[in-house]
């Protein structure tokens, strides 16, 4: 099982690099998770992350990109720039919310 | 006399009306169901239509008015507005207002092709098709009968969608159909999905993941369509990927009913905020939400509507006698997946447990196999049509557990 090492602690990650225990998420953890994707988090990234976490708290699932755009107000093209190559999965991973899933 | 009002006569609304019609005392309760469409569609059959497995409209439709038990009053009308603060619903027909003591919202979800630029227009139902409506499915059947091959693209505009396995079934059945027609070598098939992978659950992926490769299906993931370009015959994603098509089969954006939006009772996709385990509306104590109309993180599918209905009935009969609601709905879903060549498979899961391999419903025996291709599972889906009309809609008991069971599953 992969782990994320930071500040003397070791956090478990699943095969897709998502936190196994979502309660371990913090802003510092998000910074570390983003590094793995070569992303350094700006205020705009944080706007997205905070929207995603708020949506998850209410709906118990990660929002789709369309919803981040329509409800969160961040244009889809910008999401692809902020989190290149697969923003749906990357945003959720960094925000500490579940991977966007189908039923199989 | 207490009044129970049900909005929507699809799978969930019809089942709950007929179950309550039998459970509630007709001297004490007046049950009314409103729907705008005189036809009830057998939607699980739509995926068979493009390939001529079902050939006639009569095979997937019935008049709605014959489907209810005698003490359910059916009103055919558009629903204008829900006014939950006044416990009433306005209908379009004759400006009628219906008051209620309890309201069940079962207004479903439907496709909205106009939400994606370029889907509608001259090419709609000529080279761009849906199969989530009877019209779309039959138009596509007509097209496929004379199609000579090219690039077949299936695109899911966004999730959530009704029957999330249907696009996969379509792909598998298309591969089989084209093979039988001797056309498979003249067709390239691409599956473009907004999800990070086609199979997102680890065990389903381990058991079914190789099917796409075996069938030579190209896959585009995290593909969020921006527009269909009818001139150039390509679809274009927000990150600039162009996929050319000769035949585009789209699963357009799915949205809840317009009456939910007009009544300001839904989220951005017109789904109604619902308590996850009791199915009660999150705000109103006398409103329940069943079927595809909820905002719950489980599949929008007939089996889910069935398990929700069973769970709800039990709770509702307690609730009207002054008892509290129990958290009995576990997100249970159970779906056949047609895999083509006369085979299928079955998945069974809930909010917390992913689809696992094994046997269903009887542990060790089946007769259905979970996450493995089998002929019996294909027959199961074909037989299901009879079960749907004769048992399920009538609210009769089925020999499968309402809550998901781990018995028969392998970890």
* Percent with pLDDT over 70 in chain B: 100
How close does chain B come to A8, measured CA to CA in Å? 31
The pLDDT assigned to B186 comes to: 98
User: Which of the four pLDDT bands, split at 50, 70 and 90, describes residue B202?
Assistant: confident
CB B155 within 8 A of CB B192: yes
Phi, psi of B82 (to 5 degrees): -100, 130
Q: What is the mean pLDDT of residues B128-133?
A: 98
Q: What is the mean pLDDT of residues B125-149?
A: 97
Taking alpha carbons only, the member of B52, B44, B96, B50 closest to residue B73 is: B96
The pLDDT assigned to B126 comes to: 97
Q: What is the mean pLDDT of residues B42-55?
A: 97
The Cα B26–Cα A70 span in angstroms is 46
**Cis peptide, bond prior to residue B361, ω within 30 of zero:** yes
Q: For A20-70, how does the pLDDT look when each residue is reduced to its tens digit (9 = 90+)?
A: 999 999 999 999 999 989 999 999 999 999 999 999 999 999 999 999 999
SS3 for A42? Answer: coil
Using the beta-carbon criterion (under 8 Å), do B201 and A87 form an inter-chain contact?
Answer: no
Domains of chain B: 2-108+257-319 (3.50.50.60), 111-253 (3.50.50.60), 334-392 (no CATH)
The Cα A14–Cα A4 span in angstroms is 10
The pLDDT assigned to B214 comes to: 94
Phi, psi of A44 (to 5 degrees): -65, -40
Q: What is residue B223's DSSP assignment?
A: -
Using the beta-carbon criterion (under 8 Å), do A71 and B196 form an inter-chain contact?
Answer: no
User: Which of the four pLDDT bands, split at 50, 70 and 90, describes residue B411?
Assistant: confident
> What is the rounded end-to-end Cα distance, in angstroms, of chain B?
51
The pLDDT assigned to B397 comes to: 83
Residue B4 has pLDDT above 90, yes or no: yes
Residue B67 has pLDDT above 80, yes or no: yes
**Residue B227 forms beta bridges with which residues?**
B236
Positive/negative CA dihedral, B381, B382, B387, B389: positive
**Cis peptide, bond prior to residue B367, ω within 30 of zero:** yes
Would you call A86 a catalytic residue per the annotation? no
CB A1 within 8 A of CB A13: yes
Q: What is residue B49's DSSP assignment?
A: G
Note the Cα A42 to chain centre separation in Å.
14
Mean pLDDT rounded to a whole number for chain B: 96
How close does chain A come to B285, measured CA to CA in Å? 19
Burial class of residue B274 in the structure, from the number of CB atoms within 10 Å of its CB (0-12 exposed, 13-18 middle, 19+ buried): buried
Could you tell me if A64 lies within 8 Å of chain B, comparing CB atoms?
A: yes
Q: What is the mean pLDDT of residues B67-89?
A: 97
Using the beta-carbon criterion (under 8 Å), do A88 and B200 form an inter-chain contact?
Answer: no
Picking from B195, B222, B224, the nearest residue to A102 by CB comes out as B195
For residue B276, which residues of chain A lie inside 8 Å, CB to CB?
Answer: 60
CB-side exposure of A56: number of CA atoms within 13 Å? 18
The Cα B148–Cα B127 span in angstroms is 13
Using CA atoms, how far residue B89 sits from B12, B17, B84, B289, in Å, is: 19, 17, 8, 15
How close does chain A come to B104, measured CA to CA in Å? 21
* Percent with pLDDT over 90 in chain B: 95
The pLDDT assigned to A8 comes to: 82
The pLDDT assigned to A2 comes to: 86
How close does chain B come to A84, measured CA to CA in Å? 9
Residue A5 has pLDDT above 90, yes or no: no
CB B183 within 8 A of CB B221: no
Please give the biggest Cα pair distance in chain B: 66
Using CA atoms, how far residue B22 sits from B18, B46, B69, B72, B128, in Å, is: 6, 30, 8, 10, 45
The pLDDT assigned to B200 comes to: 87
Phi, psi of B241 (to 5 degrees): -80, 125
**Residue B109 forms beta bridges with which residues?**
B256
Q: Where are the domains of chain A?
A: 3-95
- Which residue bears the tokens 């705009």? A44
Picking from B205, B269, B276, the nearest residue to A60 by CB comes out as B276
Residue A1 has pLDDT above 80, yes or no: no
Using the beta-carbon criterion (under 8 Å), do B196 and A88 form an inter-chain contact?
Answer: yes
Using the beta-carbon criterion (under 8 Å), do B200 and A99 form an inter-chain contact?
Answer: yes
Which residues does B contribute to its contact with A (CB < 8 Å)?
158-159, 164-165, 168, 193-196, 198-202, 204-205, 208, 221-222, 224, 226, 238-239, 253, 267-269, 276, 295, 297, 299, 333, 335, 337, 347, 349, 355
CB B408 within 8 A of CB B361: yes
Picking from A76, A87, A100, the nearest residue to B195 by CB comes out as A100
* Percent with pLDDT over 70 in chain A: 99
The pLDDT assigned to A104 comes to: 87
The pLDDT assigned to B229 comes to: 98
Using the beta-carbon criterion (under 8 Å), do B335 and A80 form an inter-chain contact?
Answer: no
Beta pairing, strands B358-362 & B366-370: antiparallel
Least-confidence region, from A5-14, B55-64, B342-351, B379-388? A5-14
Residue A96 has pLDDT above 80, yes or no: yes
For residue B198, which residues of chain A lie inside 8 Å, CB to CB?
Answer: 102
Among the options A1, A7, A57, A103, which is catalytic? Answer: A103
Count of residues in chain B: 411
The Cα B286–Cα B4 span in angstroms is 10
Using the beta-carbon criterion (under 8 Å), do A103 and B347 form an inter-chain contact?
Answer: yes
Q: For B104-117, how does the pLDDT look when each residue is reduced to its tens digit (9 = 90+)?
A: 999 999 999 999 99
């Amino acid at each position: 099982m992969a782990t994320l090492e930071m500040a003397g602690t070791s956090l478990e990650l699943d095969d897709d690099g998502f936190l196994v225990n979502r309660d371990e998420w913090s802003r510092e953890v998000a910074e570390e998770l983003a590094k793995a994707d070569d992303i350094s988090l700006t205020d705009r990234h944080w706007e997205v992350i905070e929207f995603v976490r708020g949506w998850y708290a209410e709906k118990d699932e990660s929002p789709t990109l369309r919803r981040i755009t329509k409800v969160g107000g961040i244009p889809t093209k910008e999401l692809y720039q902020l989190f290149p190559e697969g923003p749906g999965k990357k945003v959720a991973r960094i925000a500490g919310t579940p991977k966007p899933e189908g039923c199989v | 006399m207490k009044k129970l009002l049900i909005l929507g006569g699809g799978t969930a609304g019809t089942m709950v009306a007929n179950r309550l019609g039998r459970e509630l005392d007709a001297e004490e309760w007046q049950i009314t169901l409103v729907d705008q469409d005189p036809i009830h569609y057998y939607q699980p059959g739509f995926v068979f239509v493009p390939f001529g497995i079902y050939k006639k409209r009569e095979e997937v439709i019935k008049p709605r008015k014959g489907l209810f038990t005698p003490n359910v009053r059916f009103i055919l009308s558009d629903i204008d507005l829900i006014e939950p603060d006044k416990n009433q619903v306005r209908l379009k027909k004759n400006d009628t207002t219906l008051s209620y003591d309890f309201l069940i919202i079962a207004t479903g979800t439907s496709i909205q092709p106009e939400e994606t630029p370029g889907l509608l227009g001259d090419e709609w139902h000529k080279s761009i098709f849906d199969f989530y409506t009877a019209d779309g499915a039959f138009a596509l059947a007509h097209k496929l009968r004379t199609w000579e091959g090219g690039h077949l693209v299936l695109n899911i505009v966004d999730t959530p969608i009704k029957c999330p396995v249907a696009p996969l079934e379509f792909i598998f059945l298309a591969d089989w159909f084209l093979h039988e027609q001797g056309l498979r070598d003249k067709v390239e098939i691409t599956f473009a999905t907004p999800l990070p992978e086609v199979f997102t659950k680890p065990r389903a992926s381990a058991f079914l993941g190789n099917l796409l490769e075996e069938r030579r299906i190209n896959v585009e993931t995290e593909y969020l369509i921006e527009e269909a370009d009818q001139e150039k015959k390509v679809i274009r994603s927000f990150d600039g990927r162009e996929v050319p098509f000769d035949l585009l089969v789209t699963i357009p954006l799915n949205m809840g009913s317009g009456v939910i939006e007009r009544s300001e009772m839904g989220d951005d996709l017109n789904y109604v905020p619902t308590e996850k385990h009791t199915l009660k509306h999150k705000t109103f104590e006398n409103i329940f939400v069943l079927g595809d109309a909820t905002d719950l993180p489980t599949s929008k599918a007939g089996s889910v509507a069935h398990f929700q209905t069973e769970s709800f009935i039990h709770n509702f009969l307690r609730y009207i006698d002054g008892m509290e609601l129990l958290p009995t709905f576990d997100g249970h879903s159970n779906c056949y997946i047609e895999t083509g060549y006369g085979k299928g498979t079955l998945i069974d899961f809930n909010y917390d447990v992913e689809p696992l391999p094994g046997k269903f419903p009887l542990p060790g025996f089946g007769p259905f196999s979970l996450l493995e291709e089998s002929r019996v599972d294909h027959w199961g889906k074909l037989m299901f049509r009879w079960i749907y009309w004769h048992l399920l809609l009538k609210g009769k008991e089925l020999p499968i557990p309402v809550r998901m069971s781990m018995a028969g599953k392998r970890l």
